[in-house]
Amino acid sequence: MQRRFLQLAWLLLAVGLVRSEVLAQGAYSVVPDQVYATVTDALGQPLDLALDLYLPDAQRGPRPVVVWIHGGSWISGDKANPPAEPLAGAGYAVASINYRLLADAIWPAQLHDCKAAIRWLRAHAALFDLDPDRIGVWGGSAGGHLAHMLNVTGDATTGRVGGESIDLEGSVGAYLGESSRVQASAAFYPPTELLRISQFPNVVDVDAPGSPESQLVGAALQTVPARAKSAGPLAFLGREDAPMFFAHGSIDVVVPMDQSAHVAQVARDSFGLDVALEVVRDAGHGVIGFPPDASYAFFDRVLKNLGDPTVSITANANLLEGGGGTGSFIVTRSGSVALPLDVHLAYGGSAGVGTDVAALPHRVTIAPGSPSALVTPTVLDDALVEGTETLRAFVRHSVEYRIDANATQAELELLDDESPAALPTITLAVPDDTATENGDNGLVRLSRSGSLASVLAVDLRVSGDALRGRDFQEPGSTVVFPVGAATADVSVVPVDDDIAEPSELIVFEVLPGANYAVGAARVGHVALYDDDRTSGVPILNFGVSDPVADEAGESGRITVYATDVSGVATPMSVALAGSALPGIDFAMPGPLEMPAFGLVTNAEFTPLPDGLVEGDEEVVATLQAAPGFQLGIVDQARLRIRDANAPILGPAPIAFEMTSMSIGTMAVASLSKGPPLAPYVIYMSQERAFIPLPILAYPVLIAPIDLIVLSSGSLDFFGSRDLAVPVPYDPTLLERRYHFQALVLASPILLSERVERIPTAPL
């Protein structure tokens, strides 16, 4: 009552008075109903979009900001009473925002509105004493979805999903010159991959045209897979993304737990991002069981308690393929230069690291006494007609510094030295953009201009979440135009399996070649539809509701979910593998059974303490078919058993990083902090071990039995080395976890920290 009375007083007096409240943490004031943009509603009438600001009274100086985005299935909800409000008593500025609901606009209008709010906050940072370089976003359900979408889309103006382009930035509001990038995102039970939701228990048929998810994208989800994917963060994940936090209930039947767990796993294991996932055992959808303390701690770590320097990145000049270009990235810090500062970088753009330029460092040290450091790419000359390409560098998050929101990335142009004059131009079209497992094939057509007198081979990249050789027949990576042919066709032939799958995308892209130029129409996609989803037959999928068990006494849990109930109890068969041994490292779980009229069943894994120094071990469970059920897309789950006897590791002597690993692409590894010119070896293993050797300052963390040497050579004068490693296109790699470590032959022998990756499909 006091809150509403004082907000009414604000409206009546229309002066600069604000209310104050005192919590246990401290006092703060509220500035309500600040209009950050005006748009039009469904009737074409003006609609004001507003936010409420909660400002700490005691703290002065630029304050970190947390933006709360309400949930409500994009259909309802309001900015009032945000769960983030207590942060205002802990030194944060909190902004709670409204955005257009589905009654007024569909996707991506909601993202455009949220970005306009971020830009408004930056434009008014000085007025409200906000730190424009420390803005985090937090939301629940649909609001959590928008929070993570803000993170992964950054300052990108457009994005591509398959052959479709999507406007990611929009033009809402009056401050389009400000950055919409955020520095952290947190979400309670967010939808993240709309096409996957129906694989798990759900109170609503999300694939139906009237579901909130289908309404969001303007059509039944499974009929528009590219548009549905554009409304999920997985489509835009990148190495440059800010830290993420997820919290999800293990028995959520509104937004299944898999929605958080899968994206968090891909972001962490395949992109090396700073990601935290908290699974709340036996909690459903809603605030019950979701204490916000973990979110508060997350924002304290990644927003509030950062180092003093502010880091920015710029670029100069251009890169020339034939040599002579002087382009560099300049990484600059503010403040004291007395100590060295390590800055973490990621790279993107149309120029490929390892193909167009040599491998680039992912950790750059600004030397003592210097305000900046240079990163100068080495161009790899080739005979391909590529035109002008771009190379972008991004500053990644670190607790050691803040990132200038207006200079988080820089771009260099790479100028090609091949001329397309007199060469044929290749374009791509998709005459039949659908394929179905029941025998309906898709069709992709390449066309060439100019002379037809010779045979012409054209290189093609085939990617997407449908995997060639497993979901559809291998089309090959080269398309040949016979003599006299102006067109060449690629038939998309599905592989008919018995897995109930969501709709998938097969993406085709014409690659540059030496004997042709590539036209503007170079990318297209075919949607692959499943024929195994049988109405009334429930789908089984795995989930890990507690993926870590500990020898010190904490059990782990693997969960099997069914999309619908069965009238009889049904035994579930699970095959166990992995480095952890049943009966030795963990007690065998009892018989697993889906109860009659049940949607969830759990297998508890209790570690058996053995007193041995082993390091973490892993249980790999594979779900078998069960009578009366269909198998879904998640038939394998992994559970880690944490060793209670291994010592807690400090920082490794050698710093080692690895970029995202997608099959059929280049992965880039980066070594630093080593002795100048020392020999090194980078090796990998599918198993993890823990081998403390007295001659080493840091233990070997991967198993020597299946060890593979990935690369060897010598560090440079700065004690660093960067290299690009091709990852084969092998779908079997997707189910495997790989461990990487580097060894430097110095005195003493030095080892790096371990890097863990599960390769992803090349989206």
Tens digits of residue pLDDT in 599-617: 999 999 999 998 888 888 9
95, β-bridge pairs: 53, 67
CB contact burial 347-386 (16+ within 10 A = b; e otherwise): bbbebbbbebbebbbbbbbbeeeebbbebebebbeeebbb
pLDDT at residue 2 is higher than 80: no
Q: pLDDT (tens digit, 9 = 90+) per residue, 221-249? A: 999 999 999 999 999 999 999 999 999 99
The closest alpha carbon to 215, from 431, 42, 470, 457, belongs to 42
State yes or no: pLDDT of 667 exceeds 70.
Answer: yes
DSSP β-ladder status, 556-562 and 478-481: unpaired
Please report which confidence band the pLDDT of residue 15 belongs to, taking 50, 70 and 90 as the band edges: very low
**19: pLDDT strictly greater than 50:** no
Does 21 have pLDDT greater than 80? no
Q: Judging by DSSP bridges, how do beta strands 517-518 and 425-432 pair with one another?
A: parallel
Residue 25 is predicted with a pLDDT of 54
Instruction: Classify residue 587 by burial, with Cβ atoms within 10 Å: 0-12, 13-18, 19+.
Output: middle
Stretch 26-52: mean pLDDT, rounded?
95
Tell me if 381 sits within 8 A of 323, measured CB to CB: yes
Helix (H, G, I), strand (E, B) or coil at 196: helix
Q: Tell me the pLDDT tens digit for each residue of 83-119.
A: 999 999 999 999 999 999 999 999 999 999 999 999 9
122 pLDDT exceeds 90? yes
Average pLDDT value for residue range 553-565? 92
pLDDT value at 415 more than 90 = yes
Q: pLDDT value at position 449? A: 96
Per-residue pLDDT reduced to its tens digit, 426-445: 999 999 999 999 889 999 99
Pairing of strands 409-415, 319-320: parallel
Mean pLDDT, residues 521-525: 96
20 has pLDDT over 80? no
Asked whether the predicted pLDDT for residue 8 surpasses 60, the reply is no
Task: State whether residue 468 is helix, strand or coil.
Answer: strand
pLDDT at 290: 76
Residues in the chain: 763
Provide mean pLDDT across the span 484-489. 98
Q: Which residue type does 727 have? A: V
Comparing 118-127, 367-376, 538-547, which segment has the lowest mean pLDDT? Answer: 538-547
pLDDT reported for residue 304: 93
For all residues of the chain together, what is the average pLDDT? 91
Structure confidence by residue, pLDDT tens digits, 189-225? 999 999 999 999 999 999 999 999 999 999 999 999 9
What backbone phi and psi angles, to 5 degrees, belong to 353?
Answer: -75, 125
Q: Hey, what's the torsion of the CAs at 219, 223, 228, 230, to 10 degrees?
A: -110
Tell whether the model's pLDDT for residue 60 goes beyond 80.
no
Write out the H or E segment, with its range, that includes residue 431.
strand 425-432
Q: Is pLDDT above 70 for 587?
A: yes
Whether residue 234 contacts residue 192, with contact meaning beta carbons closer than 8 Å, is answered with yes
Q: Residue 681 is encoded by which pair of tokens?
A: 């070896």
Distance between CA atoms of residues 417 and 490, nearest Å: 31
* Number of Cβ atoms within 10 Å of the Cβ of 734: 15
DSSP string over 688-737: EEEE--TT-SS-EEE-STT-EEEEEEE--TTS-EEEEEEPP--GGGGG--
Residue in the block written with tokens 């959520």:
252
Q: What is the pLDDT of residue 103?
A: 97
Tokens 């035109």 sit at which residue?
387
Report the distance separating Cα 373 and Cα 343, nearest Å: 10
Single out the residue of 217, 758, 249 nearest to residue 503, CA to CA: 217
Q: What is the pLDDT of residue 5?
A: 25
Share of the chain above pLDDT 70, in %: 96
Q: Which residues of 211-250 are buried (b: 16+ CB within 10 A; e: fewer)?
A: bbbbbbbeebbbbbbbbbbbbbbbbbbbbbbbbbbbbbbb
- 651: cis peptide before it, omega within 30°? no
Worst-scoring range by mean pLDDT, 62-76, 241-255, 691-705? 691-705
Cα separation of 631 and 623, whole Å?
8
Angstrom distance (rounded) from CA 101 to CA 106: 8
Cα distances from 23 to residues 87, 89, 665, in angstroms, run: 10, 6, 52
Radius of gyration of the chain, Cα coordinates, nearest whole angstrom: 27
Q: Is the pLDDT of residue 6 over 50?
A: no
pLDDT at 473 over 60: yes
Q: Is 740:684 a contact under the CB 8 Å cutoff?
A: yes
Of 308-317, 362-371, 455-464, 751-760, the range with the lowest mean pLDDT is: 751-760
Q: How many CB atoms lie within 10 A of CB 448?
A: 21
Give yes or no for residue 328 having a pLDDT over 60: yes
Whole-angstrom distance, CA of residue 411 vs CA of residue 313 = 9
The string of DSSP codes covering 224-268 is -HHHHHHTSGGGG--TTPPPEEEEEETT-SSS-THHHHHHHHIII
What's the pLDDT score for residue 695?
Answer: 79
Among 345, 121, 149, 131, smallest CA distance to 230 is for 149
Q: Which of 629, 632, 623, 741 is nearest to 688 (CA)?
A: 741
Query: Are the C-beta atoms of 555 and 532 separated by less than 8 Å?
Result: no
Q: The pTM is what?
A: 0.93
Q: Are 318 and 327 contacting, i.e. CB atoms less than 8 angstroms apart?
A: yes
pLDDT at 288 over 90: no
Does 420 score more than 60 pLDDT? Answer: yes
Q: Please give the structure tokens belonging to residue 136.
A: 């985090």
The one-letter amino acid code at 452 reads L
Q: What is the DSSP letter of 582?
A: B
